[in-house]
Amino acid sequence: MTKATASRAEIRDFYDDCAAVLDAEDLAAFPAFFTQDCLYRVISRENHDDGLDHAPIHCRGKAMIIDRVTSTREVALYQPRSLRHFISGVRILSDDGDEIRSSANFLIIESLVEQEPQILMVGRYLDRIVREEGELRFRERSCVYDNYHIRTTLVIPA
């Protein structure tokens, strides 16, 4: 039997750690969850299911994730907000000892000034995870959102 890359509990912790960084707006810590040659994207279910590649956030390689983080932290102008990620239904779809394919549901609630908290996004993570120097990393993360449209703006990665 080939050695498993990680257990379901480890994957769950990995997801929670990544979400905690985003909830804390500690964006500088976000790129470390990815491999150098990763693909990270936030894509609508409409495009994903139809085989259309466009994604509002499409980062090919860690460098692009770093650029998005830099731009969001240093350059972009947006209303102050709090995000909370709720992740459930973490599942390992396959594990060949080198790479795990896993998925989970996500719900992201956004709170803005003068407004009731609202659903920013709801959808599924579709991931490929590997182990590098003992640490789990995303080789690929597709945040596939069910929302028909994005409300106003998508600032913080999903």
Partner 1 sequence: MTTAAIETPPAKCWPEDGITRVPAWIYSDPDIYAREMQTFHYGKTWNFVGLDCEVPEPGSFKRSWVGERPVIMVRDHDGTINVVENRCAHRGSLICWETRGKARDLSCPYHHWSYDLKGNLMGLPFLRGAQGKGGMPRGFDKSQHGLTRLRVAVRGGTVWATYSEDTLSFEEYTGPEILERLDRLVSRRPLRLVGYSRQMVKSNWKLYWENSRDPYHATLMHPFLSTFGILRTDGDYHSVPLEGGKHEYTYSQFDPELRNRTSEASQQIKSISNDLKIQDTEVVTSVIDEFNDGMMGAFQLFPTVLVQQYFNCLVVRHMIPKGPGAHELAWTYFGYADDDEKMRELRLKQSNLVGPAGFVSLEDSEVLSLMQPVVESRPDSQQVLEMGGHGTGAQSTMMTETLIRAFYEFYRREMKL
Footprint of partner 1 (CB under 8 A): 42, 44, 46-47, 50, 52-61, 63-64, 66-68, 70-71, 74-79, 148-155
Whose Cβ is closer to partner 1: residue 21's or residue 65's? Answer: 65
Q: Which residues are CB-contacts of 144 (< 8 A; sequence separation ≥ 6)? A: 43, 44, 45, 48, 123, 124, 125, 126
Q: How far apart, in Å, do the first and last CA atoms of the chain sit? A: 35
CB of 97 to partner 1, least distance (A): 30
Whose Cβ is closer to partner 1: residue 100's or residue 108's? Answer: 108
CB of 44 to partner 1, least distance (A): 7
Q: Sheet of 135-145: strands edge to edge?
A: 57-60, 34-44, 135-145, 118-132, 99-112, 81-95
Whose Cβ is closer to partner 1: residue 47's or residue 103's? Answer: 47
